[in-house]
Structures are given as structure tokens and as C-alpha cells.
Amino acid sequence: MDTRRWLEVKSVLGEALDRPAGARAAYLSEACAGDAGLRAEVEALLAYEQEADLPPLFAGDASPHRLGPWRILRELGRGGMGVVYLAERDDQLYEKRVAIKLIDSAVQPEELLRRFEAERRILAQLEQPNIARLIDAGIGPDARPYFVLEYVDGLPLDEFVREAAWPLRRRVELFLKVCDALNYAHRQLIVHLDLKPGNILVTADGTPKLLDFGVARILDRESGGGLEGSPVRMLTQAYASPEQKSGGGLSVASDVYSLGVLLREVVQGEPQEDLACIAGKATAAEPAARYASVEQLAGDLGRFLRDEPVSAHEQGFAYRAAKFVRRHQMPVLGGVVALSGLLIGLSSAIYEARIANRRFDQVRHMANSFLFEFHDAIQNLPGSTQARALVVQRALEYLDSLVKESGGDVGLKRELAQSYLKIGDVQGLYFEANLGQQRESEASYQKALDLFQEIARQRPLMPSAQLDLADAHIRVATSLSAAQRHAEALRHLDQAIATASSVRFKIPPVRIALAKASFGRAENLEGLGRIDEALNERRKTLAILEELRQSSPKNAAARRWLALGHKRYGATLLNRAGAVEQALAEMRTAEKLDGETFRADPNNAVAKGDVALDAQYLAAALTRKGDVEAARAEWGRAIQMQGELVQADGRNVRARFFLIRGLQELGALDRQRRAWVQSKESLQRALTLAQAIRPGTEESMELVAGSEGQLGRTLAAEGACGAARVHLEGALAGYADLKDPRRLPAVGAQRKELAALLAGCRGQGR
């Protein structure tokens, strides 16, 4: 068997081995159509594989332990051209993990080197954000060439689209990034020839990366766009163009065809005529009938997003007029109303149905734009809390009305549930900027949970449904934890862990969900006084997040949660005698992580809040250590930053809460130093701020009572019992007015201490 035939057999066999045994016959009928010899050879190898329980194709390829300076960690996958490994560099000259592609040893040496040089030449030309980058190349000890490539931690395009369940617009925008990458390659005179979902990985943040140029070819400038050399017939049947299957002439049109097939999968389930026309033109049987370039295909997709006529659609008057109206609705509205009066007797039912459908789609699109574009764009900006609340509330109202109209639309229910999660976050998510509306936040999270449970029952096998459900359980648990309902919170967190663990693919969102649930368990175990269990759980949280950071170093969410995990681990350690230094080390690790994020984006209000909170944690630990001056410096830094956040965003109750707590702690520290003036200044400022937070609410009453109590303590210690009595009585009255049973256990000890102080002041009569 010659090299070309062997590679053809190997390609089909590799695809067959990836399928269940019962599905292989149907695949071979398609892949080997018209080539009985090919099918016979593949079936013989499959039969041997079943008998030996070994993949004979690769039996001779033992995994290497290292290649040059690169240490092999594990195998990532195998294909017709070789094996791909995850690796890292031992000498620290390159810190990130990489993917190493080791060329197949079954190929003849001269062919091996020819292919290696061809692929190296191609990869060296490609420097584009959506193409996996070539880092290094070399020859292994067994004379097999290898490539070192950027490692992409993501899902194949089709799996990502299914799991992310993005609205149509976002899916098309994602696909346009793939088009940009391929168009760039074409401009470098490189044709990919093996476009399929597995060669386009999408990271957790939605960035696509084009991989595997192993069968790519370089366009010959002198042959009018044909390819250099004789292309090997290695292809994936479902995505290959007719000319690839028949062995005809190949060009950029072959990649355009594969893109058209991928486009159908990306927009699957959307009854959109324009997109059907675009995909149809891209996958025309004759290359000349397709788009002449990827740039032209992308141009039509851009026109679709802008509601402009697409070139693939018939350009009739009605079609162009409809597009014009969609782009200019308000100027045309008066004319439409007048025209509808003239035409009301002519097909009025059909006309109204079309208008209703169009309005439904437009309102849905607008709501999603509010939720996923505008809200997310302003989330980290200073002063955005009230604007975020308004944006999410409006989106929620729109979606709520649409759900009532639509009945059982699962996608719409999911959008509504996500809206409830976002409004709950703005109302009261503890570690985010929020409005301090804890009860309202809990109610919003519960509505989201109810909807996600309904969706999970309807779509039990959909990974995104399970992830959404786990996230909702975590959010509900967060609210319950803030209300001191720790046992209830733990039940929700255990359910979140079970739900997230059921997702087969351990992608970054799954691991983050598991880390968040573990983090919540530690918080609630500590709240129940089970400190040893809490410490064990915190170590488990950090292990999950550290592993995620190693595999996905650019994952901002993982980095932030890792810092938070170190902070809270340090705080829990303070409950252990003799663990102050270890606690400080954990808190400094958190400060380093958050500081790097903040320095990279000083206008990020969330990052600034995290750094301010780091300073407060350090101050508390330094106070426990007895290093008063260092503690005062950290309290001062925290108060300065939290004050700036409050000034920039007056509705950010989280920043105001931490500012008040910081002032209370600094005032208490100065009281220990007998620095009465500084102590009173800090505590009076805390009291003034507390009185301005949603007056009359339980949250405000507790903060006011706490500040009055601290100020009363300082005045009593100073000997000013007359003034102290006023504030001590005010604190006790404030605590007595609290009706929420969830808050009462926390204030019981405070009331007892303040009552004793007040009795002492009354006894002195001053």
C-alpha cells in the first residue's frame, strides 16, 4: 500500500473509531462511497481492533516523555496526521502550556520531512488572533518531526454552540471571527482544506481558534489560484466540498463550501431565510456558483446583522422594501399606519401576524441586547450600579411579557431566567456592586431557579441547562448564607455540585461552578462553627481554581475566584490559634492576584473593590497579630479606595457597606490606642454614612446601630458618659427594632455588652 493510500485508510479509520460501533457501517457507506477497496481495508482493521482491543493503527507509537525542552503531560488526541500532546517547558522560558503535534511515524521518511517542511512553512506565515500560533518546531529522538503550538482550552465549535445556547446574533458574530481567521489565511495564499467543528475550538470567553493546517496547501500564484503540489485525499466527508471528494481542482472555494456547512450548524433551528440563502450559496455544487471569497461570505453575514439586503437573496422590491422598513422603523411608521388603513381589507390577518412575529423578534432582540451587550459592557465601570439595575429591569419586563405570549419556548425561558439572575446580582450579590436589597435578591434568584428547573426537566441531556441550574442553586445559597440560613444554603450547594458534576465535559464553566459551590460550602460550614470542615473545603476550592488557572491562565473569572478563595481561607485560619502568619500569607497571595488585575485596568471598579477588600482583610489579620501601625495603614488604604468607589457610585451599597465596616474597625483600633479624636472622627463618619443607606430598612438599621454602639464605646472609654449614653441608648433601640429573625442571633451578644456599658455610665451619673 503506498503512502497516499495508507493515509486515506488511516483518515477514514480514525473517524470510524471515534464513532459508536453501531454507527460505523453508516459512516463507512458515506465515507467510502464508490471505493469498495477502501471500505474493505478499513473494515479489516476495525475487525482486528475489536479482537485485540487495541487501536493497531497507533500501537507502535509509544507516548514520548519529552521532546526537546518540552515535557509531555498527557495525550490530547489522535488523527490521520499524527498525535497531539499537552506539554510544558521545563526551563521556564515559556510559562504557558502548549500543544505538541507529533507527525505520524507510519509515513516514509522522505514524505515525513516533505510534509513537515510544508506545514512548518504554512504555520510560520500565520499570525492572527483567531488562529492557534506556532511557537516552536523540531525533530524528536526517533527522527519524527513535531510542532509546538498554542494550547487552546475550549470546545469544538458545534459543542460550544449547543452548550452556550447564545442568541442568534451572538452566534453569527462568533462565526464571523472564524471567517476573519480563514480570510487572513487566504490572504497569505493558504487554503485550509479540513474545516470542521473539531478544528475550530472556542474558549470559555467565546474566542474561536482555528487549528490544524496539516492538510492545508499554498495557492500557486502562477496557476490562477490552484494549489501547489498534489493534495492528499484526506478529508472529513460531512464538511468536504464536492471537488475534494471527487479529487478535482481545489481552491479557496473549497474552504467556502466547508464554511457554508458549518454555518448551517451554527444557526441550526433558526427559521431565517437570509441565513439559509447565504449557506445555500456557500455550498453550491459548482465552485463558480459559490462566494468568490470568504470576505464576500462574511460581507453578506454583516449585511444580515445590519438588516440590509444580502446578495445571496433574490433582490425583489418586496424584499428590499422590507429591509428598508426594518432599518428605518420610526420614520416609516406614519406611512405604515396610513397604508395599513388602506389595506385593512386585504389579507389583514396575515399582515397582522407578520407584524406580531416581527415585533416579537425585535423585542426579544432588544431585551437580549440590554442583558448581554449593554449591561455587560458597563458592569465594571464606576457609577454603573443604578444603570445596571435599570437595564436589567427593563429587559426582564420585556422578556416576562414575551414568555406569556410564547408558551413553551425554552430559549425564551432561559433568557428570562438569566434576566432574573442578573437583577438578583444587582439587588444584592454580596461580592459584587449591589443595591443592598437582600430580600428582593433572594426572590429574584428563586424565580430564576424555578425556571431553570423547568428547563432542565424539558432538556435533561443539555449541558447548558445543567450548568444554568447549578448556577441558580449557588445564587440562592448565597442569599440564604447572607441571611444566616446556613443549613438551607448547604442543601442548595450540594445540589449544585451534583448537577454540575453530571455535565460530561469538564470545561472551565463546569469547574468554576464546582469551585463556587465548594466556596459556598466553606462559607456556610464556617457560619455553623464547623471550622475544621470549612478549612478542608477551602483547600478543595483552591485546588479546583489553581488547576483551572494553570490550564486557562487568561480566564478572568477563575483568577478572581482564586483570589477570593485565598482571602477567605486566610480569614478562616484566623479562627485557629497560632495561624496568623499563615493567614497573612494567604491574604497577600490574594492581594497579588487582584493587584495584577487592577494594574492592568485601573478604571475597572470591580477590580478596585477587590483590592480595597484585600487591604481590609490584611488589616484585620495585622490587628490580630498586634502590628497596630501596619494595620492602621491597611485600614487607611482600604477606606481611601472604598470612599472613592462610593463617591463614583452612590448607589453601590456594597462599597458603602465595606467603607462603613472599615471606619468602624479603624475607630475601634484607635480606641485601643486611646486616640480618642481619631476614633470619634472615624465612627461619626461611619454613622453618617449608615444613616444614608435606605433609611428604615433592616440593613440600614443594623449598620446605624453598629456605628452608634462603637461610638458609644469610645465615648465611654474616654469618660464622656453623658454623650456615650445617647449613642448607647440609640444602638440598643436600633437593635430592638430589628424584626428579621435572621439577624437576631448576630446582635444578641452586642446588645448584652452595650447594656452593661450603659448601666456603668448611668451609675457614674456623668
Q: For residue 21, which of 58, 57, 46 has the smallest C-alpha distance?
A: 46
pLDDT for res 758: 85
What SS3 state is found at 148? strand
Distance between CA atoms of 753 and 758, rounded to whole angstroms? 9
Handedness of CA 130, 198, 471, 551 (dihedral sign): negative
Give the β-pairing of 134-139 and 145-150.
Answer: antiparallel
List the end-to-end C-alpha distance of the chain, in Å, as a whole number.
107
Q: What is 154-312's CATH number?
A: 1.10.510.10
Kindly tell me if the per-residue pLDDT of 684 is higher than 50.
yes
Mean pLDDT, residues 658-678: 93
Task: Name the residue with higher pLDDT: 150 or 336.
Answer: 150
SS (H, E, C) 491-504: HHHHHHHHHHHCCC
Rounded percentage of the chain residues whose pLDDT exceeds 70: 71
Question: Quick one: average pLDDT of 605-616?
Answer: 92
Q: Are domains 66-150 and 328-504 of this chain identical in fold?
A: no
Instruction: Supply the DSSP symbol for 431.
Output: T
Higher-confidence residue of 602 and 513: namely 513
Confidence check: pLDDT of 210 > 80: yes
- Prediction pTM value: 0.51
Q: Tell me the average pLDDT across 426-445.
A: 73
State residue 346's pLDDT score. Answer: 32
CATH for 328-504 (1.10.3470, 1.25.40, 1.25.10, 3.40.50): 1.25.40
Give the distance, in angstroms, between the CA of residue 722 and the centroid of all CA atoms in the same chain: 57
Q: Say what the pLDDT of residue 498 is.
A: 94
Q: Does residue 370 surpass a pLDDT of 60?
A: no
Residue 393 has a pLDDT of 60
User: For 526-558, what is the HEC assignment?
Assistant: HHCCCHHHHHHHHHHHHHHHHHHHHHCCCCHHH
- Rounded to whole angstroms, the Cα distance separating 620 from 635 reads 8
Question: Binding-site residues for ATP, please?
Answer: 101
In this structure, what C-alpha cell is assigned to residue 240? 468536504
Distances (CA, A) of 667 to 389, 661, 673, 684, 707: 33, 10, 10, 9, 10
Please answer whether residues 480 and 431 qualify as being in contact, where contact means their C-beta atoms are separated by less than 8 angstroms: no
For 86, the enclosing helix (H) or strand (E) is strand 82-89
pLDDT of residue 247: 78
What φ, ψ does residue 310 adopt, rounded to 5°?
Answer: -100, 145
| Nearest in space to 494 (alpha carbons), one of 474, 465, 511 | 474
**Which has the higher per-residue pLDDT, 534 or 89?**
534
Q: What angle do CA 29, 18, 27 make, to 5 degrees?
A: 10
| Inter-residue contact 696 to 686 (CB < 8 Å) | no
| Residue (of 465, 468, 449) closest to 513 by Cα position | 468
pLDDT in tens, 396-418: 565 555 556 555 667 777 877 88
Binding residue ranges: 101
pLDDT digits (tens, 9 = 90+) for 6-62: 556 666 776 776 666 767 787 777 777 777 777 877 776 666 444 433 333 333 445
88 - beta bridge partners? 71
In this structure, the number of other CB atoms found within 10 A of the CB of residue 253 comes to 23
- According to DSSP, the β-strands at 190-191 and 217-218 are antiparallel
Side-chain-side CA neighbours of residue 487 (13 Å): 1
Per-residue pLDDT, 656: 86
Q: Is the pLDDT at 332 greater than 50, yes or no?
A: no
* Residue 173: all three cell numbers together: 458574530
- How large is the C-alpha radius of gyration of the chain? 32
Rounded distance, CA 563 to CA 385, Å? Answer: 23
DSSP state of 407: S
Say whether pLDDT at 435 is over 70: no
**What is the predicted pLDDT for the residue at 434?**
62
Q: Taking phi first (over 0 means left), then psi (-120 to 50 degrees means alpha), and beta for anything else, what does residue 176 get?
A: alpha
Q: Where are the domains of the chain?
A: 3-58, 66-150, 154-312, 328-504, 526-664, 674-766
Q: How far apart are the C-alpha atoms of 541 and 403, rounded to whole Å? A: 37
Question: Which class is 66-150 in CATH?
Answer: alpha beta
The H-or-E segment that residue 225 falls in is none
Kind and range of the H or E run holding 378: helix 375-378
Across 164-179, average pLDDT: 91
CA angle 540, 529, 439 (to 5 degrees): 90
pLDDT for residue 330 is more than 60: no
How many whole angstroms separate alpha carbon 21 and alpha carbon 620?
Answer: 62
Q: Residue 137: is its pLDDT beyond 70?
A: yes
The letter for the amino acid at 610 is: D
Q: What is the distance of C-alpha 277 from the center of its chain?
A: 32
Q: 526-664: what fold?
A: 1.25.40
Mean pLDDT highest for which of 343-347, 393-397, 581-585?
A: 581-585
